[in-house]
Structures are given as C-alpha cells and as structure tokens.
Chain A
Amino acid sequence: MTSRGYPGDVMDGRVLLVEDDASIREVTALGLRRAGFRVATAVDGRAALAAWRAQPIDLVVLDVMLPGLDGLEVCREIRRTSSVPILMLTARTDTIDVVVGLECGADDYLRKPFDLPELVARVRAGLRRATAVVEETILTVGGLEIDPNRFVVRKAGRELTLTATEFRLLLELARRPGQVFTRELLLDRVWNHSHLGDSRLVDVAVQRLRAKVEDDPAEPRLVRTVRGVGYKLATA
C-alpha cells in the first residue's frame, strides 16, 4: 500500500505518542515501552508531523486536543500519504467528536481516562491489523480483486488506497460473501475488541470503505446494510 507500513514486527512496533500533557505522555510512554514497543513522543501537532516524517512509525497514538495544530488536523495530514493505524485519545465529552475523529481517518479511539492495559491491547490489535495475512490467496468478489499478501485492492484494474482497518474489514466481509456480520462480530474480528465496544467504529469504517469501493457511495451495492443486524458483502 505505501512505503510507510512495516508489517511483520508487532512486538517490536514503533509507536509515535502525541500528547501535550507531560504526565500522561511520560507515564503512557513508560507503559508502552514496558509492553515492548519502541516509543517516540511529540508534545504538539507540529512536533508530531516532524517526528512522523523523521522516522519510520508503525502506529500513531494521537491526542485530539493539542495546542496549535490539533489532533484532527494531524490525522488528516498523515492520512494524505499513509495508511498507518491511528489510535485517537479523546478528552472530549461529546460523542460527536468521536465520530468526527473517526471520519478524519482514525482507526480506533480511547476515551480519557483510559486503562493502560487497554491502551496496550488496542495498540497491539492495531499493529496486528496492519500485518500481512500470509496464508491467503487472492480473492475476487463483486468486481474487486483483494490480495491479502500485498494489502492491495484493485477495482477494474485500478489500485485502491485503503487503510489497514478498511482492508481488514473488506477482507473479513469478502471471506464469506453474502453472510451477515453483526457489528459486534466485526468489532471482535477487525478491531480485536473483546469487551462491549462502540459499534460506531464499525459504522464509520464502513462509510469510509464504501467511499472507496462503491461506484456510488450514497447507493451502496457492494457493502450492504442489513437493518437491525449488521453488514454483508453482496456477491452480485
């Protein structure tokens, strides 16, 4: 997909932690390092983009509220060139802001105050999502050509740029075309959320996926909503 993704070395993943509060930054970095990640830190949006450009990064943990350039801007800027997994930390009380964050291209989010083990688990899941699935062959569903080994999706010969999360979501649906997946099942399979998670993660990711793979995202023919249940990939 891009030159910035380095799938494969999960336990040695390089995490960029962007957080303006010194205490949270320090203790979170400590926790991530103890879990086996290599951690680079940044205190604001500009420093984050500088750090992002200066070194290879496998996953970004990004605070939404940052002085100067805020987290949403940073997220959009990174998404222009990369599909690196982005985990948002949100201090905002409004659920709307969560959705806005996800729509800016974040893959997952955690509300402050968060549990350190929870953060570590999410980072791990995010890195795993970006890892190639070695054993599978190329799938062809509904005019899409999905290559799990190379993380590439082609539509009518044209290569589409999907983030790791979008790719995993599409792959999950494409493995059993026609089967209905509940949001909870997708949350478990794609995001590795074992607890009762927020199904809006799935809804927002589906919207983004549709924007990329559908001819007309307003009239989805491929990724269908099954009212009251979940989603399925139409075979026709």
Chain B
Amino acid sequence: MAPGTVPPGRLRRRLTVAFVLVAGVSAGVLAGGSYLMLRQARLDGSVQRAAADARYQLVLAGQFVPLTDARRTELLTSFEGSGRHVLLVAGDTHASHPSYAPTPGPQLRAAVADGQLGYERLDGTTGRHLLVVGGRIPGSTAELYAVTDETDLIGGLDQLRTALAVGWLTVVALAAGVGHSLARRTLEPVGRASRAARAVAEGLLATRLPVRGRDEFSDWAAAFNEMTQALQTKIDDLSRAEARERRFTADVAHELRTPVTALVAAASLLADQLDALPDDARRAAELLVADVVRLRTLVEELMEISRLDAGREAVSLTPVHALTPLRDLVAAHGWAGRVVVTGDGAVLRTDPRRLERVLANLVGNAVTHGQGEVRACAARAGPLLVYEVSDQGPGIAAEHLPHLFDRFYKADPARSGPGSGLGLAIARENTRLLGGRLTVRSTPGVGTTFRLALPLTPPDTNQGAEP
C-alpha cells in the first residue's frame, strides 16, 4: 500500500457515514423543526384560548363582589359547575377542586398584583400538566386563577415526538443500509480496476475490465482496456522486433560461417607459404591472414552470443577445484611470466567450460591491456567463490565503466584492439548462466580489477554432468 492512499474498505465506510449523516441531519431537521413548530402553535393556541376564557370568567367573577364567605363558595361552585377549575386568592387560597390546586409562582403573582393578565404552566399532582391563567377580579383585590388541564395536549405532543424519533431512527437505519450497499456497488468497479491494474503491473497484459452500462466507470473501464490493448500490442511488437533482430544476428553469423571456414583454411595454407611470396605480396598476405583471424573471432563470438540470447544453452555442473581453470589457462597460453595465480583450494559446483571461458576472457584482457603483473586470485567468501583479476594498466575512466559489458562497446574508439567487442558481453551472459555476478572497478593510473562472484553451489542443480 503506497503512502497516502486509502486502505480498502475505509472509503466505503466514509461514503456510508456521509450518506447516513446527510439523511440523518435532513430527516432530523425536518422532523425536529416540524415538531417544534407544531408544539409551539398548539401551546400558543391553548394559552390564547385559556386567556380569552379567563377574561370572560373574570368579568363573571366581578358579579360575585364583594366576596363574603358565602359568595365565595357560590362562585367556586358556579365555576366548578360549568366545568372549570379555578383558584381564588383573597387573603387565603381556595381551590374549586382539590386535584387542581397548583401554587402560582411569584412572577405570576406579581404580574397579577399589577393588574395584568398572566399565565404559567405548572406540573400538578399525579403528573398532570396544568395551564394557569390569572387576573384580578374587577372591583376587588381578590385574584382568580383559571386552571386548564393540558395533560392531553402535552401527551399528544409527546406521542408525536416519539413517533418522529422512531421515524428518524428508521430513516437513519435505512440510510445506513442503502448507503452501504450503494457505496459497495459504486466502489466495486474501483476495486476491480485496482486488481486489474495490479495484474497488468505483474505482466498479465491480457487483463481486461468488463464494460457494463454507460456510466463513468464503464467509460473508464473501456479506456483502461484500450490502454492494456495498446500496451500489449506495443510490447508484442517490441518483442517480435527483438526476436527478429536476434534471429537476424544468428542467421548472419551462421551464414558467415561457411565462407569464413574456407577463408580460415585458405589463410592457414597461405601463412605456411609466406616466405615463398615476393615482399609486397607477403605483407598483403600477412595482413590478410591477420584479418581473417579477427573475422573468425568475430563470427564465432556472434554465434556464441546469439546462442546465449536464444536461451537454449545447457549448463552442465561438476565439482571444480577453484584454481584449476586459472592454472590450466596460464599454462595453455604461456602466460606464466605475466600472470600470478593465488588463492585457496576451494571446490565449487559449476560448469567448467563456461567458467574457463569467462576467466580466459578476463585474464586475456588483463594481459593485453594491462601493464606489468596480472594477478588472478580465487577466494571463498561465505556461500560464494570470488575470482579477482587485476592488472596494473592505465585503468578505465569512470564514465566508461557502466557500459563496459555492453555489446561492441569500446572505451577508446580510436584504439582498435584485437577483440571483437563482444568478449565481456559474452562473459557476463555466461556468468549469469552460472548464477553469478561479474563486476568491475578501476582507478585510472593504478589498474583495473574484474570481480567474478559465483555460488559455491548454484541454486538450480537439476542438470548433472554425470553420464
């Protein structure tokens, strides 16, 4: 997972939460707002009705002034008789019905004492909700409070609130479900697309996305498919071109072999009889023979590298004493005076012919290009056997080092050595076949060291050499 990207599932959760939030908030605002407005309207209506009624009742109560005990009782009975509960405060407080006997708060009392009409909502006994509207009875200091039972109204509002809350919760739950499945369905093409992209990255260029419907995702899938198709075509073209090129190189080398064979044989005959030729012709013949040798080397190395490219080269592994190929090499080429072989006597499992081929190239280069003594040593280093071939030559400039193993790369184009320019490329390919690494380091003016590191036992040892 690259930094900064969203882990799978988190985006889905975010989308679901957003969906639920939007649905929850809008449903909540709608339900809550309606509830509050409705509640306010109902309560205001109730107060207005009670106030209008209270004004009328105060005028009626004015008929009972002066309030003697008997008239007071008559007043309370009259009110109770018409289905209204009142409180009469004239020095003492008298309730028309014992169940509806709230105590008006000081604010209400103060307002009423000022001669105003006031109201207050109070919780009565046994959980009742009471609306108390009061005023002074005209022509008296007594105060009359009309008590309205709002229990039903408040109960209705509570029921409404409960219904709305349940409805809201249902909406939120529904939104969560719908949002979750919608997010999953929306993000599914994204998951599919990232799996497909990963498959392409792994080299499965035949990967395609299904194109369904005509939405943005299907557009995107179609574009993705076009991209992989283009990529596949391009890569197929490239590998075909590369195969054609390698085939061509192999064919050229192969076709050159027959005339080169005749040339080499003819040059060899000519070389035997140089002395019989007149001076001018002899020099020409010498040049001819030398160039035939170069041509032969080039053709043989071209064939070798095209065989390596074709990947059909077999590796036959046997136990090899580390110093044997170096000593054989020095003896076979008569380099005993130039090359110093050192190192320990480890035994490694490798293909001796390929190892000899690589070492011959490295030591040969050192002898040709270096000056003074060439050192070739072999030493064990953990699971590896490391050969180092060092010369004391002019060294190689740093800018040439990365290209040294490229085909036909010459560090100094003006200097045409005896090599074909393929020697190190072949050495590296052979090293790769043996499961090893070939590297170089060089200090101009001091010398160059090639380092060949081979596994003591190659990981793939299914090819034995025993007949």
Contacts and interface: CB of A to CB of B under 8 A. Distances in A.
Given A21-B258, A31-B269, A116 B307 contact: no
A115 interface: yes
Nearest to A111: B300
Interface residues of B, number: 32
Contacts of A206: 467
Most buried by A among B264, B265, B296: B265
Given A93-B303, A113-B257, A31 B265 contact: yes
Nearest to A92: B254
A135 interface: no
Contact of B268 (A94, A115, A196, A207): A115
Contact of B264 (A95, A116, A198): A116
B92 to A, nearest CB: 129
A56 interface: no
Dominant secondary structure at the B interface: helix
A225 B296 CA distance: 37
Contacts of A91: 254, 257-258, 261
B269 A227 contact: no
Contact of B265 (A28, A195, A196): A28
Interface string A79-121: 0000000000001011110000000000000001111110100
A91 B257 CA distance: 7
B314 interface: yes
Interface of B: 250, 254, 257-266, 268-269, 272, 296, 299-300, 303, 306-307, 312-314, 318-319, 328, 332, 353, 356, 466-467
20 contacts: A21-B258, A21-B261, A24-B262, A27-B262, A27-B266, A31-B265, A34-B272, A93-B254, A93-B307, A112-B257, A112-B258, A113-B260, A113-B264, A113-B265, A116-B268, A119-B265, A206-B467, A225-B467, A228-B318, A228-B466
Given A94-B307, A119-B265, A196-B328, 17 more contacts: A21-B262, A28-B265, A30-B269, A31-B265, A34-B269, A91-B257, A91-B258, A93-B250, A94-B312, A96-B314, A112-B260, A112-B261, A113-B300, A116-B264, A203-B467, A227-B466, A228-B319
The 7 lowest CB-CB distance pairs between A and B, nearest first, are A23-B262, A116-B268, A113-B261, A203-B467, A27-B265, A112-B261, A24-B262
Interface of A: 21, 23-24, 27-28, 30-31, 34, 91, 93-96, 112-117, 119, 195-196, 198, 203, 206-207, 225, 227-228
